Structure 1
Amino acid sequence: MRLALNLGYMVGGETPADQLALVQRAEALGYDSVWAAEAYGADVVTLLSWLAAQTSTIHVGSAVMQIPGRTPANTAMTAAGLQNLSGGRFRLGLGVSGPQVSEGWHGVPFAKPLGRTRDYVAIVRKALARETVEYAGEHFHLPLPGTEGKGLKLMVRPVAPVPIYLAGTGPKNLELTGEIADGWLGLFYAAGFAHEQLDALSTGRAKADKDMSDFDVQASFPLVVGEDVAACADPVRTYAALYVGGMGSRKNNFYNNLAVRMGYAAEAAEIQELYLTGRQREAMGTVPQEFIDDTSLLGDQARLADRLAALAESGLTTCAATPVGRDMDAKLAALETLAEAHRAL
């Protein structure tokens, strides 16, 4: 199992210099890759380009680039550019986001996200393979019928294949991910619940006549180092309450649905009710300690080593950590502690 660094959204938690310091320390420690996200703040492409220019071995990945934010052809152009500029170190993570962002920010309908994703990935793969892009699907039709458009081929050749990852939480989304992608980007992954997710991914791989041997099962975890596990969990509560309670609408919150499937139905309903009625602090206090512990990396080096061993045994192939700490020194030290724990496997 490999280690990765996940920077999350660049919304002001760290300065650009801090972001770079984390990435360069991770690279020096042997972390395999660094990932960053976008929502409706800074775009992820600019950040990854900047990071790739100041590193040499660590891979850079989008977790995720938003499907509604770019045409599939534009995404293929961007992926090819980043792959060539980074010397073959780019990994393309894609996701449909949610209806509030897709429809509210990008003005793109959220309906039928699975079909839209299937068409989108097919076109991206076709373009990156430098085939003439002609596609007649339910959601995309290229060239546009009844126009002067013509089938075109990507003008540059990527220096290496671009691995495609998909983010998702629901069983049908995971099945599609296994079928059409090279890897999965997960959140709130718990070793004791991994069977549901891995079964869905395996079903998708079987549909494509493939197995899991060359598929990257990746998930991200908040990382807090310390002797007191309960105290380590406290700074993670903001993140957990936001996703379970407020990431999406009352009708569509994929992370709330995941918490329900993990056995926290009553707690998930209460967290969402508190969060959506403006009582975020109460929502944070309602997140179960067990849920945070199972979906985070908390504790001292020995405990982290045990947790990494359990994650590897469950089928995780890349463990992406987001260090949480009072300052940059604490976050840099956390990356080092996790690396030491990983060496003990």
Structure 2
Amino acid sequence: MRLGLSMGHWGRDGGTEPLRLALEAERLGYDVVWASEAYGSDAVTVLSWLAGRTTRIGLGSAVMQIPARTPAMTGMTAATLDTLSEGRFHLGLGVSGPQVSAGWHGVEFGRPLARTREYIDVVRAVVRRERVRHEGEHYPLPLPGPDGSPGKPLQLIIHPVRAEIPVYLAAVGPRNIRLAGETADGWLALFHAPSHADDNLAQLREGRGERGLDGFDVVASLPVSVGDDLDACADRVRDYAALYVGGMGSREKNFYNTQASSMGYEKEARTVQDLYLSGDPKGAAAEVPFGFIDETSLLGPVDRIADRLAAFAASGVTTLSVIPYGDTHEAKAAALANVAEALNRATIQGS
């Protein structure tokens, strides 16, 4: 099992903190660093910055938003980032949610699975330098020209260092996870819990078909809070959990609230959402169950984290992406080091 660093959105910690953590992760032997975007900093600019300051660690988008860019633009961007980083780029994609898609990008959210399937087809064709022709409902290429004559199919001008850039899909829910197995090279998972992993792995296997899961990268992003007091460790993560379970999307469509409910926390998830949407995020955070946080995070001293790493590996995780918690850079860097040490101690089948 490999280790990654989930930086989240640049600007959350300000200044050069993401770069300092990325350099520390590279020094510790981490495999990849992931940058995200919502409606603040964009992932591409941050990854370009990191590409120029790092030498070995992989660089991933988790995620680049599908409604924010045409598939051809995403193919161009992926090819450029991969070339500038000498083959270190991992393209993570996601449809975001209805509010961001419609409210920020002005793109309808309907039929996300069909749109995603077409989108990935076009992106792969661009990176392979094919003349792009796509007879799709959502991304027909080329469109007719202004005089009604057929538009000209075009080919990427630059020559990327790789003809196949690994594509990852952020997915929640059975059909979306099945699509990740069908169309992508990896799955980006949030709030992954070993005790509830079997159904998700079954969906991935169904999507993969005869290819199976060999070589498929299951990436779980996990908050890490190190210390001897488990309740205090969990308290550091409460705001993060409440934001997703209570505040992401709308009352009618919140993928993470549904996920928490499916794990057996239906009543608690409803309470967290009610408090968050009523303008009480701190109250919502206090109501997130310890069990939910513990199942979907790495809490406690190094030996306990080592045991949890073994459980995550057994649940199919091939890259564990760390979200380090701490009040200072030194504390976050120590969390990265502690996870690396825990992985050395962990008893992982096949290691």
Task: Identify the TM-score tier after normalising by the shorter chain.
Answer: over 0.9
Q: Give per-residue Cα distances to partners, 1:14-43, cap 9 Å, x unaligned.
A: 233211110001001000000010000011
Q: Any unmatched runs of 5+ in structure 2?
A: 347-351
Counterpart residue number, 2:169: 166
Q: Structure 1 pair 278/130, CA: closer, same or farther in 2 (3 Å)?
A: same
Q: Give per-residue Cα distances to partners, 1:58-77, cap 9 Å, x unaligned.
A: 00000000000000000000
CA distance in 2, matches of 1:281, 1:87: 44
Pairwise CA distance, 1:157:
2.0
- Counterpart of 2:181 (choices 173, 178, 181) is 178
CA RMSD of aligned residues (A): 0.9
1:69 counterpart = 2:68? yes
Q: Which amino acid aligns with 1:3?
A: L
Q: Any unmatched runs of 5+ in structure 1?
A: none
**Bigger mean CA deviation after superposition, 98-107 or 151-160:** 151-160
Matches within 5 A, 1:285-300: 285-300=286-301
Pairwise CA distance, 1:9:
1.2
Query: Please, what TM-score do these two structures have when normalized by structure 2?
Result: 0.96
CA distance in 2, matches of 1:147, 1:17: 51
Runs of 4+ in 1 over 2 A off after TM superposition: 145-149
Secondary structure, aligned partner of 2:224: strand
**Bigger mean CA deviation after superposition, 82-91 or 266-275:** 266-275
Secondary structure, aligned partner of 1:292: helix
CA distance in 2, matches of 1:143, 1:123: 11
Counterpart residue number, 2:6: 6
Q: Give per-residue Cα distances to partners, 1:83-122, cap 9 Å, x unaligned.
A: 0000000000000000100000000000000000001001
Q: Which amino acid aligns with 2:318?
A: T
Pairwise CA distance, 1:148:
5.4
Q: Which amino acid aligns with 2:232?
A: A
- Counterpart of 1:155 (choices 140, 154, 157) is 157
1:228 counterpart = 2:229? yes
Secondary structure, aligned partner of 1:166: strand
Secondary structure, aligned partner of 2:253: coil
Q: Which amino acid aligns with 1:197?
A: N
Counterpart residue number, 1:85: 84
Pairwise CA distance, 1:235:
1.2
Q: Which amino acid aligns with 1:321?
A: V
CA distance in 1, matches of 2:253, 2:292: 21
Query: Please, what TM-score do these two structures have when normalized by structure 1?
Result: 0.98
CA distance in 2, matches of 1:254, 1:291: 15
CA distance in 2, matches of 1:169, 1:126: 26
Q: Percent sequence identity over matched residues?
A: 57
Counterpart residue number, 1:36: 35
1:195 counterpart = 2:198? yes
CA distance in 1, matches of 2:269, 2:263: 10
CA distance in 1, matches of 2:204, 2:275: 33
Pairwise CA distance, 1:13:
2.7
Counterpart residue number, 2:349: none
Counterpart residue number, 1:304: 305
Pairwise CA distance, 1:288:
0.3
Matches within 5 A, 1:62-141: 62-141=61-140
Pairwise CA distance, 1:141:
0.5
CA distance in 2, matches of 1:16, 1:172: 39
Q: Which amino acid aligns with 1:9?
A: H
